[in-house]
Amino acid sequence: MRHEDGPEPIGPGDLPEAEVYSFRTQVTERGISIGWIAGILLLGGGMWFFTQSLRTALLLQTVNQVLETVQDSRRLEGLIPWHVSWGRFPWGNWYTLADSEDRVLVFSLMSNGIFIPCMAVVSAGTGKVVGDTILPLTSHPEQTLKQIPRGLIKTYIRRIENPSFLQRGAVRP
């Protein structure tokens, strides 16, 4: 191998310096890449954490608008904080129901690869889903319910009424 400037060959002393430069460049480039990724993750996580109250308030407002659109008389009042008595539920938000002791779980049900926003009214006394039904929060809930297999709905109801979840203090009469 020869230098581009002249005919003399690269000496053994030149090679390690080139390798060190290459290693430093690689470390620097990787460090910058890792820094960018970490920064984006921190920014996204911070936005997710600090906008949680706004997102839950908007969800409450949207659910109430959908219930009004489908002419359902029920309305959600407020979010039940996870530390009060309901525990943390990994796939939904608990809300109080206006003019009732019952609670409402708003969550996404997945059917055929599609997420469907739903709500389940849970009795405060028994911890069971009222009416053994889940209401899809779509513009045409009856049509949506016909498309969801009954076995899938039963599975979600069992998850909501899970005794081990109830024993952890999720629902206290």
Widest distance between CA atoms in the chain? 92
Find the mean pLDDT for residues 66-84: 82
Find the mean pLDDT for residues 98-104: 87
Find the mean pLDDT for residues 26-31: 90
What is the pLDDT, as a whole number, of residue 61? 93
Spatial separation of the C-alpha atoms in residues 81 and 143, rounded to whole Å: 33
Burial profile 130-157: b = 16 or more Cβ within 10 angstroms, e = fewer = beeebbbbbeebeebbeebeeeebeebb
Give the predicted TM-score (pTM) of the model: 0.69
**Phi first, then psi: what are they for 127, rounded to 5°?**
80, 10
What is the pLDDT, as a whole number, of residue 144? 82
What is the pLDDT, as a whole number, of residue 20? 60
What is the pLDDT, as a whole number, of residue 166? 46
Pairing of strands 114-122, 103-111: antiparallel
